Structure 1
Amino acid sequence: MARSLDGLVLVPVADQAPGQVGRKTRFAYHEQDGRVWAEYGGGDVVRGYLVGTRVQDTVDFRYVQLRPDGTTASGRCVSVVAELPDGRVRLEETWTWESQEGSGTSVVEQPLERAAESI
């Protein structure tokens, strides 16, 4: 099993569509006893939260976020936790909006810089 997500800051490796997470979004992860949660924000997301569970290297969570125009969006995501050769953590995500049409895949990982910006 890959290491704990607790205390990690993860960032998307690519921008998504407007109104979604992007390279300026920062996720602050927490993990305890199989429970995973995070706060996130930046870019097209004013504030977001996710909450779910982890079984081995699979994280299953729901997310909700507030956009700059005051609208909200929510969905479900299943992520596979992997450790990169340099020791950083990566999540390979498959997500589906529940509040609107759409689904896709994305990747978030620990940034190369050691002092990642806070949310």
Structure 2
Amino acid sequence: MTRSLDRVRFAPLADQAPGQVGTGTRFTYHEQDGRIWAEYEGGDIVHGRLVGTRAGDRLDFRYVQLTRDGATASGHCVSRVSELPDGRLRLAESWEWESRQGAGTSVVEELAGEGGVAPVTG
């Protein structure tokens, strides 16, 4: 997998627990020279950021977020990048909170027709 994540927007396929990423959350990824970072917001998330690295189809990053109720949280995630039959990208994620208890898996997929859009602002 060599397709860049730069300026690619993603959305989760399912809601997580309240106060976490959900189907209303949007991610805008950036990539340069093996480094990745992203902004995310929407649903219960007011501001979220992630930063890490990419090696082939593997992403390894830390994330931090602020929720609507004023809580902050941080964690670690490893994702696998794959391409869907229609050419969109999918990230299969395994994550674990570092600031509290909990771990899980999630899937985000590239939003159709939104490649190359400007980053989320907020």
- TM bracket, shorter-chain basis: over 0.9
- Asked whether 1:17 is paired with 2:12, we answer no
Amino acid at match of 2:105: T
Query: Which structure 1 residue ranges, 4+ long, deviate > 4 Å from structure 2?
Result: 115-118
Tell me the equivalent position of 1:36. 36
- Counting aligned pairs with the same residue, the percent is 65
Match of 2:53 in 1: 53
Specify the code of the residue in structure 1 equivalent to 2:46: V
Give 1:88's aligned amino acid.
R
Distance 1:111 1:39 in 2: 15
1:111 is displaced (CA, Å) by: 2.1
Q: How far apart are the structure 2 equivalents of 1:115 and 1:58? A: 23
**TM-score, length-normalised on structure 1?**
0.94
Partner in structure 1 of residue 88 of structure 2 = 88
Task: Show the counterpart of 1:77.
Answer: 77
CA distance in 1, matches of 2:105, 2:2: 20
Partner Cα distance (1:98, 1:106) in 2? 17
Q: Which runs of 5+ in 2 are unaligned?
A: none
Q: Is the 8 A contact 1:81 1:90 kept in 2?
A: yes
Q: Is the CA contact 2:47–2:65 (under 8 Å) kept in the aligned structure 1?
A: yes
Q: Is the 8 A contact 2:6 2:31 kept in 1?
A: yes
Structure 1: runs of 5 or more not aligned: none
- The number of aligned residues is 118
Deviation at 1:71, TM superposition (A): 1.0
Structure 2 Cα separation of the partners of residues 111 and 6 of structure 1: 14
Deviations 1:58-117 (A, max 9, x none): 0000000001111100000000000001000000000000000000000001123x2489
Q: Give the alignment's Cα RMSD to 1 decimal.
A: 1.5
What is the TM-score when the length of structure 2 is the normalising length?
0.92
What letter is aligned with 1:9? R
